[in-house]
Chain A
Amino acid sequence: MSSAELSQIAVNALLLSGLLALVAVGFSLVWGIMNIVNLSHGAFIVMGAYLTYWMHELLHVDPFLSIPVSMAVLFALGYAVQRTVINQIMRAPLLATFLLTFGLEILIVNLLNFFFKADTRSVTTSYSGTGFTLGAVRIPYVRLFALLVSLTLVLLLGAFLNRSRLGRAIRATGMDIDAARLTGVQVGAIYALTFAIGSAFAGAAGSLLAMVIPFDPNLGGGYTERAFVICVLGGLGNVVNVLIGATIYAVVDVFVASRLPQLSQAVTFALLVVLLIVRPQGIAGRSLS
């Protein structure tokens, strides 16, 4: 492999890792705080992609400007889902939330298929195909902006969780729900807020994905899996864990895709299964199993 090829792979991995961190950060938050593996996360991402698509198509809104709208809409939806549905079974065995979010995923994906058909769509803007070259490496503008937006959002979430009063209430609830309740935290509302933030970040990830890849209603499942792998690789607990996990995943994914494109899914899954068995607590985080 030439050094030019290698540096292109490195840059591609870097560009991908930011997006993947945004894909996984909401999933990681919901898992870490409430012990819910949200199988409908990918469906929320796809909803974000459609919101950006339709805003661009019908109202000619620049896709980057539609991100706050996607986040707001999915925040509201996520809040309602947790408050009215998932909170009803929070003390049931683990399998219950797993199956519930799975049912939600089937439902959302089917409704998207029903209303928007299974057609592949993409958001194309005036600057879509453009980019610049740095030495031998080509960098598309959209992917660079997507990286910057992703990192900004992820770090903002980290700051919110660590510095703000509400963020501390969320983390306290995740650590010990009874102790949090004793200090006056409204845990029902905090759970709903946590799921809402997770959904909002899924929406943002969907908006960005709509700009960089073609999508259809069935895209979500793959992103739920990726988010899971990233959380296992990086561990749970902090946005830094997500960034580590996403970087490892992106490097492996870009490298395998350039060498053995037909096996990229199998290699990633094999890596995951081996890692789960050898180190169930993840590479860098605390265990939550």
Chain B
Amino acid sequence: MARAARFAVPAVVLAILLFVPRFVSSYKLLTATTVLCLALMAQGWNFIGGYAGYAAFGNVAFFGIGAYATGLLMLSRWHLGFFPALAAGAVLAAVVAVVVGVPVLRLKGHYFAIATLGVAEAFREVAASWDSLTEGATGIDLPVQSSGQFFYYSALALVAAGVAATALLARSKIGAGWVAIREDQDAARSVGINTTLFKVVAFALSAVFAACAGGITAYQNIHVAPDDFFKIEYTLQMIIACIIGGSGSVWGPVVGAALYQLLSTYVWSHFLELHPTVLGAIVIFFVIFLPRGLTDLFRRIAQGRRIGWNVLLANVRASRLT
């Protein structure tokens, strides 16, 4: 029964999502595509941040690299189609992640977080100053593709693939290795896990997902400029989406991305000027009361457990200073 539900629920959700473009306006479809791109980025961050427990604060670098690579490869010099260009961008981002990751992933905790933040900032400056390739601060213009459905279905296919990949990896040896690294890296190493390799793989995977989201967003926006595609807000959004959905879970990033968009839209329309305040408060709320996110809450409900204030207080009881 539970096993059947595990496949039936995603199938139903996917079926509904496949028919969304028939019923909504093109503006709403654009929003839906934005949510899917955020879900993609969050799925990527989930590997390194959720499973391996490394607080990567610079994943927007891969989003930007994917966007620029896709755009540049589609332009006059190479004239590639969108999908080959997107794939090349994803490969490039993975290569960059390996090159950057080997030294940076040696750092732990706060040091890793700040180093990745610095790396992302460095890429923004490179994109803004490498005039001969990226046209500097002006940015590049892509060919026009006006079909909203094209972007929606591309992003949906990638998110669905991401869910499947996360589910498979989480059950595999590598997923177990990531969790072992997250819980205790020294212990993981002592039982023979090649921690460097596992961490680099997680980082490269996170780069691939962010790059795909970047490529789609670039093609949809037609224009790629350094300040729009290397902004730290993207890093924050993917982390927030992961946390509120449930990091280190298969569905967390997707649920979190959808919820983030709903909350964000609601807050925008009701508290325009205090939008960041409300989002900041939401982050604080989830960190304190629901650090395992909403999917954990859904799981408890599905298991028939009673849900009350005790759920919120359980984490405080477990992690407060005694």
A-B contact count (CB 8 A): 132
Say yes or no: A276 contacts B115, CB within 8 Å.
yes
A16–B274 CA distance with the chains assembled, in angstroms: 35
- Contact residues in B for A99 (Cβ distance below 8 Å): 239, 243, 283, 287
Say yes or no: B118 contacts A110, CB within 8 Å.
no
Prevailing SS type, chain B contact patch:
helix
What residue of chain B has the Cβ atom nearest to residue A31's Cβ? B110
Q: Which of B53, B108, B276, B321 contacts A191, CB < 8 Å? A: B321
- Contact residues in A for B263 (Cβ distance below 8 Å): none
Q: Which of B106, B119, B239, B319 contacts A89, CB < 8 Å? A: B319
Q: Which of B107, B119, B280 contacts A103, CB < 8 Å? A: B280
Say yes or no: B274 contacts A85, CB within 8 Å.
no
What residue of chain A has the Cβ atom nearest to residue B119's Cβ? A273
Say yes or no: B319 contacts A96, CB within 8 Å.
yes
Say yes or no: A228 contacts B274, CB within 8 Å.
no
Say yes or no: A103 contacts B284, CB within 8 Å.
yes
B314 to chain A, nearest CB (A): 12
Within residues 31 to 71 of chain B, which ones have a CB less than 8 A from any CB in chain A? 49, 53, 55
Q: Which of A90, A106, A187 contacts B280, CB < 8 Å? A: A106
Say yes or no: B113 contacts A269, CB within 8 Å.
no
Say yes or no: B319 contacts A88, CB within 8 Å.
yes
Most chain A CB within a 10 A radius of its CB, from B275, B315, B320: B320
What residue of chain B has the Cβ atom nearest to residue A99's Cβ? B287
A221–B83 CA distance with the chains assembled, in angstroms: 38
Say yes or no: B318 contacts A88, CB within 8 Å.
no
A99–B287 CA distance with the chains assembled, in angstroms: 7
| Interfacial residues, chain A to chain B (CB-CB below 8 A) | 31, 37, 85, 87-96, 98-100, 102-107, 109-111, 113-114, 187-188, 191, 225, 228, 232, 263, 265-266, 269-270, 272-273, 276-277, 280, 289
Listed A/B pairs (25) with beta-carbon separation below 8 Å: A87-B320, A88-B288, A89-B315, A89-B319, A90-B319, A90-B320, A92-B287, A92-B315, A95-B49, A96-B319, A100-B283, A100-B284, A100-B287, A103-B283, A106-B283, A110-B277, A111-B274, A265-B121, A265-B125, A266-B122, A266-B125, A269-B121, A272-B115, A280-B108, A280-B111
